[in-house]
Amino acid sequence: MDTFQAIVIAIVEGLTEFLPISSTAHMKFVHPLLGVTDTPFVLMYEVVIQLAAILAVVLLYWKKFFDFARISFYIKLVIAVIPALIGGFFLKKHIEAALGNLTFIACVMVAGGILLLFVDKMFNKAIIDSEAKVSYKTAFIIGCGQVLSIIFPGLSRSAATIVTGMSQKLTRSAAAEFSFFLAVPTMLAASAKSFWDTYKDNPEVIAKDNLSMLLIGSIVAFVVAVIAIKFFIGLLKKYGFRMWGVYRIIAGLTMLFLIWRGIVQ
């Protein structure tokens, strides 16, 4: 992977991380189109730039993240991240196999898109309009929803957590914000593990040039994500999920066509 390829992948990540369209699916399909092979460094790069994109949340919501007087906020995040930590540990082999199956990811994209077509009508009795009103039980349930995105790559972590939040009577914007908050500890843990595993198994990968590329990609993903978050919240409040469902179906079917034609392997 060269610098240009790294920047393109970082832009894709930054644009899609907070949208309910699966950043993982988009990156996995961009790789073969760019001629990128899934080396140990590339796999680590994918995870770390996701963390960089997610840190955009800390910038945009810094008052909440650093309000240490509100201990309940941090407790909710800890409770919500536990299911993903447990699921990631016990489902490691399944996750690795699923991430390598582009047909499976494309099918999940389509199935998730169909679901999003009906989400707004299914969960339209919201009464919780802020994180402060989210109970510990609800935080845990949303965390369980996040596990679905681990089991089914292509589902989208943000889609899984937002829809789960809406099922617990959160408004669209409140569910989206809690999803953003939860992404921070989740991806922090995932990035630390990925970096350590890569260094432990392939220490030569952590070379100066690779670290420079990782830094550039992280900066690009962060900046693009800051713009994408504001864009997404505005569209979500105004239009809901239907448009994203339509996009997912079209994108997933396009992926399946490219696989069928042998253009993507």
According to the model, what pLDDT value does residue 204 have? 72
According to the model, what pLDDT value does residue 45 have? 87
What is the tally of helices (H) and strands (E) in the chain?
12, 0
- pLDDT by 10-residue block (mean), the chain, 265 residues: 91 89 89 85 85 86 85 94 88 82 94 93 87 93 93 91 94 90 87 76 72 90 89 80 93 93 80
What per-residue string of b and e applies to 1-14 under the rule 16 or more CB within 10 Å gives b?
Answer: beeebbbbbbbbbb
Tell the residue number behind the tokens 């995040």, with chain if given.
77
Nearest C-alpha neighbor of 9 from the set 20, 141, 38 = 38
